[in-house]
Amino acid sequence: MISPKLPYFFRVKRGIDHYVMCLINASLARLDLCLKSNQRGALRDTHKRFAGKYRRKPLVVCGNGPSLNEIDLRAFRRNYSCAVNFFFKHPQATELSPNFYFLIDSKLANGIWPIATIDNILKTLPETEVFLNARWYNMPSFKPYLAHPRIHWILPSLVPNRNMSTRNSLDRPVYGLNVVMCAISVVLAMGCDRIGIVGVDGDGLFRELLDQKSHFYAGEKDQSMSSFSTMVESLYLSTHGLDSWEGWIRNLNSKGVQVGNLSKGGIMDCMPRWLHSDLTGKE
């Protein structure tokens, strides 16, 4: 029998965990500011070009979950949009032609994902602006992209945090526990205040555990399933990530930013399910 005091215990534990994560986040943010001058300059350039330039524009964020195959992305062609990771493989990627694209995962820097992924995105989506992790700025493998006019640099903070600021500055760390959260942080800094999400199912790790497809495309299992220790770490971060989503949505709604789930699948019911008309505000 489950003790009736158990839910209260979990609420207290979540509160303590959140407080500790906020302290860690603040400490790491200070460390992240210890960048070389060229990295800081790249962040300032990104801020100058994009901050506040899309004020009060609705925008669609495309994840890589299986539900992305269940929606016609052509419906969003007239909206601002952004995509992440391997979206360029989607059969409707060129038809949507997202305005922005985000790659921040360390797998790209350590060789698990091929560096040619950047070239594939630039070639497949010739009008899309691509954002990379500024921690990679001085790495030799990224040198060919430093002068590219469609490559921009951001500094994602990788610690769970249930609070989401609507006044993000692109020349400082932005929230980035995962790439979709990072994308939302950046478009908030751009001024977007109505954000629809597609292909973000929230159950990818659990699908991996059940040996089910966890992305819209066919591919190998995630590295998180490669050993017991990586699985434990991934489960821990997944728990904090889902908790962060819930706190985020509540926090953003209180500040006048609306976020809705345009997909039919997945477990992301911490935000309302939207139709396209809910994103645009038009019937």
> pLDDT tens digits, residue range 76-127?
999 999 999 999 999 999 999 999 999 999 999 999 999 999 999 999 999 9
Compute the distance between CA of residue 159 and CA of residue 9 in angstroms, rounded to an integer: 23
* Burial profile 145-154: b = 16 or more Cβ within 10 angstroms, e = fewer: beeeeebbbb
Whether residue 32 is predicted with pLDDT greater than 60 in this model: the reply is: no
- 116-132 tens-digit pLDDT: 999 999 999 999 999 99
- Distance separating alpha carbons of residues 97 and 73, to the nearest angstrom: 10
> Considering only CA atoms, which of 31, 29, 30, 48 is closest in space to residue 171?
48
Chain-wide mean pLDDT for the chain? 86
- The band of 222, judged by pLDDT with boundaries at 50, 70 and 90, is low
pLDDT over 70 at 18, yes or no: no
Q: How many CB atoms lie within 10 A of CB 64?
A: 23
Predicted TM-score of the model (pTM): 0.87
Would the pLDDT of 3 be above 60?
no
Local structure of residue 281 (DSSP, 8 states):
T
Tokens of 213: 């497809």
Residue 32 one-letter amino acid: D
